[in-house]
Every structure is written in structure tokens, then in C-alpha cells.
Amino acid sequence: QVQLQESGPGLVKPSQTLSLTCTVSGDSINSGGYYWSWIRQQPGKGLEWIGYIYKRGTTYYNPSLQSRVTISLDTSKNYFSLNLNTVTAADTAVYYCARVVLVEPAIVPSWFDSWGQGTLVTVSS
Amino acid sequence: NFMLTQPHSVSESPGKTVTISCTRSRGSIASSSVQWYQQRPGSSPTTVIYENHQRPSGVPDRFSGSIDSSSNSASLTISGLQTGDEADYYCQSHDSNDQVFGGGTRLIVL
């Protein structure tokens, strides 16, 4: 059974870069049929998709965050990462990583089948 | 792009049936699959319905999903409500490679 675990600083200063890593166990991020995604949830709010990456490095981002987001992966260490630059207090949230299933014959992944436990990142000076 | 609109909250008594709606603002609800996630306080979301009406292994058949093209909406129905069903429920769909979540519905089991 796949497990995902987020890690990274819990406190980031305004205007700096938020960096998180999602370590995957029980599956290879190099395997086909899945995308690897980041989602966030601001305090008391709903879920917001940030973006995802496929094993070949192809990325797709939420248009509202695209100018500040980079998702990358390291297949040798089986993890993928999130960088969000120029953060403000509005970026304070619980950040989740998740696996997204590609249901053939579709070419777009559809459902988020496995989630990490989430990590709270606070943006404050 | 499009939005998915859900009621802010719904409430019902144990043993009853409740339906949560999810209305797509633009484009056909049938153009992409709809998923439903349950999120209990302090926990990560878990899938209760995927591909409009499919249940992951372990999800009881009290949970069912459907779509209605006439109202351009999807629905999650939970029958035989239990106090343990009290949670936030989110619908999710996509338009090409743009994934969208609904705003969430708090289910209160009185």
C-alpha cells in the first residue's frame, strides 16, 4: 500500500520560498498510471489543487498559482517536491501531497486515491 | 475555467438519507469524471466515490454517486446515516489538466 509523507519547514518568512518534499513508499513514482500532486487547505477553508507532475517530469499547475510554483521529482530517491516562491500570509495552509490515478484510456488523471497526512506551513515574520 | 458549487452545510438524523449536490458552472458535468472525498476534522481527505459512481474498496454501499446532465450537477447520497459520517465532503472534477475542488459541504448528523 502506497504511503506519502510530507516534510519541510513549518515556518516561512514573507517573500521567501516555501519548499516541501513528499517521500513516497510502497510504490515507485517512476511507475506508470499515476501523477504526483500537491494540494493545500488554508485554515478553515476548502481544498485547493496546486499542481502535479508525471514520471517524465511533465508538470501542470493551477493557473492562479502558476507564476510562483515549481514541482519537481527525484526518481532515484522516490520523492517529489514543491517550491512556492514569494509567499505571503495567504499561503499559510496545510499542504498535502497525493497520488492521482490515470484511468485508462483517459489522458488526464482523475482521482486522488492516496494522501499524505499533511503538514502545516505558516508564513510569518 | 469552471467552479463546482456545493451547499455550505446539510444536516440529517441518524438512519436517514442525505444528498449533497455539486453543480458545475461551465461545461458539461458529464465531460469529466466527478469524485467525492470525506474529510474528518484533523485528518486527510479520503475518497468515497470516484469516476462518478465507483466506490473504493472498503467504502460501504451506503455511499453512492451520480451525475445529472439536466441540472449539470453531481450528487453524493449517503443512506442509513451514522454519527461517524459527520465530516466535510468535497466534490472534485477537472477540465483538461486543471483540477477543481468544490468548496465543501459540512454534514451534520444530528
B50 lies within 8 A of chain A by CB: yes
Mutate to test the interface with B, among A40, A110, A113, A117 (most CBs of B within 10 A): A110
B31 lies within 8 A of chain A by CB: no
pLDDT at A103 over 90: no
How high is the mean pLDDT of chain B? 97
pLDDT at A106 over 90: no
CB B80 within 8 A of CB A29: no
**Phi, psi (deg, nearest 5) at residue A93:** -170, 165
Asked if A116's CB is within 8 angstroms of B50's CB, the reply is no
Written as nine digits, the cell of A74 is 527525484
Q: What is the rounded average pLDDT of the residues B95-99? A: 90
pLDDT of residue A9: 96
pLDDT of residue A25: 96
Burial A16-29 (b: 16+ CB within 10 A, else e): eebbbbbbbeebeb
Position B1 confidence tier, pLDDT thresholds 50, 70, 90: confident
Across the A:B interface, residue pairs with CB atoms under 8 Å apart total 61
> Which residue among A49, A110, A117 sits closest to B101, beta carbon to beta carbon?
A49
**Phi, psi (deg, nearest 5) at residue B101:** -105, 145
B89 lies within 8 A of chain A by CB: no
Share of chain A above pLDDT 90, in %: 87
> Which residue among B32, B45, B50 sits closest to A47, beta carbon to beta carbon?
B45
Asked if B44's CB is within 8 angstroms of A96's CB, the reply is yes
Written as nine digits, the cell of A96 is 498535502
pLDDT at B4 over 90: yes
pLDDT tens by residue, B22-49: 999 999 999 999 999 999 999 999 999 9
Q: Residue A28: what residue type?
A: S
pLDDT tens by residue, A27-43: 999 888 999 999 999 99
Residue B95, exposed/middle/buried by CB under 10 A (0-12, 13-18, 19+)? middle
Asked if B96's CB is within 8 angstroms of A108's CB, the reply is yes
pLDDT of residue A69: 98
**Rg of the Cα atoms in chain B:** 13
Share of chain A above pLDDT 70, in %: 100
Q: Which residues of B touch A118 (CB under 8 A)?
A: 44
- What lies within 8 Å, CB to CB, of A55 at 6+ separation is A29, A30, A31, A32, A34, A73, A75
pLDDT tens by residue, A4-21: 999 999 999 999 999 999
pLDDT of residue A104: 82
pLDDT tens by residue, A84-101: 999 999 999 999 999 999
pLDDT tens by residue, B74-96: 999 999 999 999 999 999 999 88
pLDDT of residue B62: 98
Q: Which residues of A touch B57 (CB under 8 A)?
A: none
Task: Choose among A26, A21, A55, A24: nearest CA to A38.
Answer: A21
Position A119 confidence tier, pLDDT thresholds 50, 70, 90: very high
**Can you tell me which residue has the cell 495567504?**
A90
CB B91 within 8 A of CB B36: yes
pLDDT of residue A77: 93
Question: How many whole angstroms separate alpha carbon A22 and alpha carbon A85?
Answer: 18
> Which residue among A49, A101, A116 sits closest to B99, beta carbon to beta carbon?
A49
> Which residue among A101, A108, A116 sits closest to B97, beta carbon to beta carbon?
A108
Question: How many whole angstroms separate alpha carbon A46 and alpha carbon A48?
Answer: 7
Question: How many whole angstroms separate alpha carbon A82 and alpha carbon A17?
Answer: 10
